[in-house]
Structure 1
Amino acid sequence: MATMNKRVAVMDLGTNTFHLLITQGGINDYTVLEHEHIAVRIGEGGINKGTIQPEAFARGLATMQQFSRLIDKHHVDRVRAIATSALRNAGNGQDFISQVKELTGIQIEIINGDTEAGLIYEGIKASGCLSANNTLIMDIGGGSVEFILGNNEGIIWKQSFEIGAARLMDKFHKTDPIPQASIVELNAYLEEKLQPLFDAVDQHKVDTLIGSSGAFETFTELIEKPKKKDFRLKDIRNYSFSTGELISVTDAVIASSHRDRASNQAIIPVRVDMIVVASLITRFVMQKLNINNVAMSTYSLKEGVLATELAV
């Protein structure tokens, strides 16, 4: 039986952003006490070299100390810190984990891609946007991209691919705006790397793609902020895209310069450059799988971890 006043802190330590979510309450009725997103960029300069660079290492330690102070302030009962692709693959990842433990007492858990995909599914399910129909969930991280095929009854297939936005940007987005030749190379790379996804979808009819937070939140803001100046992403849990609008904003992002994106209020700083390859992955998957129904959930891995914690 879950304790109704249990305070839980969940940290999702991603390649680009470290997230902290502190809640109080039960599984279907909790209050958010803190929700922090810090652009640590732990993969910067080293994502494809398998090492955390000194500046990124220092930013990560400082952020974890900041999170520790917030956790202490709220007298949290249970703490989970989950690390994914960048720390999973960094040669000095264990050194980072040891220093965080020494400085803050927080024990970071490194999870594999399969576990990560399962927790993302739990987050999407908790947001209430799954149905009895088979849906493809996509979570574009900095280090990896998770695909989950399933419905509100459970997971049919899932896989994590080490083709995250920071990795793709490092490989293909070296000139801005991104040249057409680089887009062709990127699409050929995705065609090769994502064959297990195509095989899975061939066996199960899928007509809807749900994007898990991240870049899909930016697509939502790019569409809605010009329409409603008072639009606030935190007021919504799910969003259904008009296909035409999604194609229009991703076309504009792909053709844009760094200056264009940096001056756009709908694009947060950590996504200014990675939103280009995120747009290209999204468009590639839509076209390859012939999916026109696309939605967004603001829930992702950290809400999946929270759901599993509150169910205990």
Structure 2
Amino acid sequence: MPDIQTTQTGGRVAVMDLGTNTFHLLIAENIADTFNEIFKLTEPVKLGEGGINKGMIQPAPFGRGMAAMQKFEALIDEYGVTNVKAIATSAIRSAKNGQDFIARVKQATGIEITTINGAQEATYIYHGIAASGCLSGTNALIMDIGGGSVEFIICNDDEILWKQSFEMGAARLMDRFHQTDPIPLASIKAMTAYLNGKLADLFKAAIKHRPKVLIGSSGAFESFAEVIELSKGRNFDLKTTKSYEFDTDELLDLIEMLAKSTHTKREATKGIIPVRVDMIVTASLLTIYIMQKLGIADVLMSTYSLKEGVMAEMLGI
């Protein structure tokens, strides 16, 4: 990797977002009241594999998580990082051996992991989305579909009006409902009934605050955008994209295709990274469910999420 000199505006900081499917590393520095991204890496650890609904990190994903953290340690040393914040979310906070993972990482790398609750996670996501420029004076619903949890935030560019985290992320939904591929209609109906029961608080908040826009926070929404753009033969670089506005019909057509697809078809679809090949089905079904249930047709994607929100706080932006 090239040696990039640190500017005189301040030291480099690193944020690690340790999610259920992926571990993210973002290294940046403060320049002119914003952050300048120096380096970014995503490691597909699949920490919830084989045990997401049993509350245990299984040996293989435990090992992948440790390997990713050791790689991150080497990178923060290489890039001369002076301040590090590692944030653990759903899989680690809910696993019976989550604290063991945290202790092992500390012992092996010296990195201290902070476990945050769902409300804190939602707040960081809001600040990350705000930094992307997606918010306006119109009330919006942010949806961040992780592997372990889903955060919903009703907000505008001035404030958070309501927020809640639900332990029903794409990996948990897949483990519960997507056992056969393509996913059977009976499983879709069962998932719909499950969501009807779980999301009553969201529906009440939506009636009160009436969000007009759905903003998907990175993750599966990045894949939706990439698949749509690549299918048109366009160059689409997520690294230079902060936000993306979906054509509603294109998005609905894509979701229908994914819901009917096989693993082999999804694997061969340009724009779907390997770690999302299977979980994108339940993420797609959750997306169309929310659109239809709340009557929202305008959908945006932000590539900024939790790690950018944490970064903004660390740099005082």
Q: Give the TM-score, by structure 2 length.
A: 0.96
Q: 1:260 maps to which residue?
A: 265
Name the counterpart of 1:243: 248
What RMSD in Å do the two structures reach over aligned CA positions? Answer: 1.1
| Residue 235 of structure 1: how far off its partner (Å) | 1.8
The one-letter code sitting in structure 2 at the alignment partner of 1:219 is: F
Judge conservation of contact 2:229–2:235 (CA < 8 Å) in 1: no
Task: Give the 3-state SS of the residue equivalent to 2:26 in structure 1.
Answer: strand
**Cα deviation code 1:11-34 (max 9, x no counterpart):** 000000000000122374433221
Contact 2:35/2:312 (8 A) holds in 1: no
1:235-278 Cα offsets, whole Å, 9 max, x none, are 21001111000001111011100000011121000000000000
Q: Deviations over 1:45-93 (max 9, x none)?
A: 0100000001111111111000000001111111000000000000000
**Equivalent residue for 1:301?**
306
Structure 1 letter corresponding to 2:69: M
For 2:151 and 2:253, the matched residues in 1 are separated by: 25
Counterpart position of 2:168: 163
Partner of 2:49: 44
Corresponding residue SS for 2:142: strand
Secondary structure of the residue aligned to 1:225 is: helix
User: Which string of whole-angstrom CA distances, capped at 9 and with x for unpartnered residues, describes residues 86-134 of structure 1?
Assistant: 0000000001000100110000000000000000000000101100111
Q: Which amino acid aligns with 1:299?
A: Y
Please, which of 249, 255, 272 is the counterpart of residue 277 of structure 2? 272
TM-score (norm 1): 0.97
Corresponding residue pairs, total: 310
The one of 93, 98, 103 equivalent to 1:98 is 103
- Write out per-residue CA displacement over residues 274-309 of structure 1, whole angstroms, 9 at most, x where no aligned residue: 000000000000000000000000000000000111
C-alpha distance in structure 2 between counterparts of 1:4 and 1:134, whole Å: 35
Matched, 1:123 2:117: no
Q: Residues 197-238 of structure 1, C-alpha deviation per residue, up to 9 Å, x if partnerless?
A: 000011112110000000000000111012234221212100
Deviating 4+ runs (over 4 angstroms): none
- Structure 2 partner of 1:64: 69
Verify: 1:187 aligned to 2:192, yes or no. yes
Question: What is the match of residue 212 of structure 2?
Answer: 207
User: Unpaired segments of 5 or more residues in structure 1?
Assistant: none
**1:52–1:93 Cα contact (<8 Å) kept:** yes
| DSSP 3-state at the match of 1:96 | helix
